[in-house]
Amino acid sequence: MADEIYASVSMKLKNRNLNISKSTGIVDFNQVTVGVTSGVQFFTSTAASAINIGDIVANKWALFTNLDPYLSINIGAYAAATLQTITTLGPGQAALFPLNSTYPVYAQAIGSGSGSVALDVLILET
């Protein structure tokens, strides 16, 4: 089979005299190696933890959605024993990423307290 995975991203601004719209259209690609990880994972502000990608070993596409109504969450990679944040998802925000199979991805909640932030994770192996 071919083109089993479809993704699209769009953004639109309408504010007074500003009217801007961008879209990728539909991007489709093959799932050569069948693999998927899906579910809600929880992260605290104490330390960054690896996002569980299950048995996926090849390159992948990831959709992350912050389910917390109040707290943000950092997503990134480790370098020199420190989380290098590539994005911060605010409450309710989502992001779609192509991920390299070489580097693990980590997440850490932002904020005080002992609670955790729920991150909805969908990762598709390609």
Question: Cα angle vertex 102, ends 50, 5, to 5°?
Answer: 85
Paired strand residues for 43: 117
Q: What's the confidence (pLDDT) of residue 40?
A: 97
Q: What's the confidence (pLDDT) of residue 3?
A: 60
CATH superfamily, region 31-125 = Jelly Rolls (2.60.120.10)
Mean pLDDT, consecutive 10-residue stretches, the chain (126 aa), reads 71 86 75 83 91 83 93 90 92 89 88 82 88
Q: φ and ψ at 48, to 5 degrees?
A: -70, 145
Q: What's the confidence (pLDDT) of residue 36?
A: 86
Which residues are within 8 A (CB) of 103 and not within 5 positions of it... i.e. 6 or more apart?
77
